[in-house]
Amino acid sequence: MGQKPDDWNAVSLCAFHHNEQHVLGEGSFWSFVKSLGGQTPEALIAEFIKASPKRREIEEVMRERSSAER
């Protein structure tokens, strides 16, 4: 808590939905979004990365971190 995630491991939310995420809890919030036909956080993050002008940089860092975790 109190730590900022990497920009490519976060989903931007409007103020209303950000508050709802805190009220419901993160897991319950995303389950609710998915039940309404919304996307998972992982799918939204993947779309963000795909559209980012820094896509290659983000993917390289993610590969490096993935290799380091093994």
Write the pLDDT tens digit of every residue in 4-61: 666 667 788 899 999 999 999 989 999 998 999 988 888 988 888 899 899 999 899 8
Going by C-alpha positions, the residue among 46, 16, 44, 21 that lies closest to residue 31 is: 21
Stronger pLDDT, 70 or 22, i.e. the higher one: 22
| One-letter-per-residue 3-state SS of 45-70 | HHHHHHHCCCHHHHHHHHHHHHHHHC
Q: Is residue 56 within 8 Å of residue 49, measured between CB atoms?
A: no
Domain boundary assignment for the chain: 8-69
How buried is 33 (Cβ within 10 angstroms: 0-12 exposed, 13-18 middle, 19+ buried)? buried
Stronger pLDDT, 63 or 8, i.e. the higher one: 63
What confidence score (pLDDT) does residue 13 get? Answer: 87
